[in-house]
Amino acid sequence: MDFKFSQEQEKLREEVRDFLEEELRQGSFEPSCDAWIMGHSPEFTRKVAQRGWIGLNWPKEYGGQGRSYIDRLILTEEMLRYGAPAACHWFADRQIGRSLVAFGTEEQRRELLPSIVRGEAYVGLGLSEPEAGSDLASLQTRAIEDGDDFIIDGQKVWTSGAQSVNYIYLAVRTDPEVPKHKGISEFIVETNLPGITIRPLTDITGGQHFNEVFFDSARVPKKCLIGEKDRGWYQIVSQLDYERSGMERLMGNYPLLKALIDFTKETKRNGKPLSQEALIRHKLAQLEIELEVGRLLIYRVALVMDEGRVPNWEAAMAKTYGTTFEQCLASTAIEILGLYGQLLGGSKLVPIQGMASQSYLASQGYSLQGGTSEILKNIIALRKLELPSA
Ligand X SMILES: Cc1cc2nc3c(=O)[nH]c(=O)nc-3n(C[C@H](O)[C@H](O)[C@H](O)COP(=O)(O)OP(=O)(O)OC[C@H]3O[C@@H](n4cnc5c(N)ncnc54)[C@H](O)[C@@H]3O)c2cc1C
Site string for ligand X, 353-382 (x = CB under 6 A): ------------x--xxxxx-xx--x----
Among 19, 69, 158, 263, binds ligand X (CB under 6 A): 158
Residue 243 carries which DSSP code?
H
Site string for ligand X, 18-57 (x = CB under 6 A): ----------------------------------------
End-to-end C-alpha distance for the chain, whole angstroms: 35
Cα 175 to chain centroid, rounded: 30
Smallest gap from residue 162 Cβ to ligand X (A): 8
Give the CA distances from residue 80 to residues 85, 281, 341, in Å, rounded to whole numbers and listed in that order. Answer: 9, 24, 22
Asked if 34 contacts 366 with a C-beta cutoff of 8 angstroms, the reply is: no
Smallest gap from residue 261 Cβ to ligand X (A): 26
Q: Which is nearer to ligand X, 264 or 323 (CB)?
A: 323
- 97/188 Cα distance (integer angstroms): 11
Site string for ligand X, 107-146 (x = CB under 6 A): -----------------xxxxx----xx------------
Q: Which is nearer to ligand X, 28 or 164 (CB)?
A: 164
Nearest to 185 by CA among 280, 92, 103: 103
Smallest gap from residue 127 Cβ to ligand X (A): 3
Tell me which residue has its CB nearest to ligand X: 133
Q: Which of residues 212-241 bind ligand X (CB under 6 A)?
A: none
Asked if 128 contacts 54 with a C-beta cutoff of 8 angstroms, the reply is: no
- 82/85 Cα distance (integer angstroms): 9
- Point out which residues pair with 218 in neighbouring strands: 152
Q: Which of residues 309-348 bind ligand X (CB under 6 A)?
A: none
- 188/100 Cα distance (integer angstroms): 9
Point out which residues bind ligand X (CB under 6 A): 124-128, 133-134, 158-160, 210, 365, 368-372, 374-375, 378
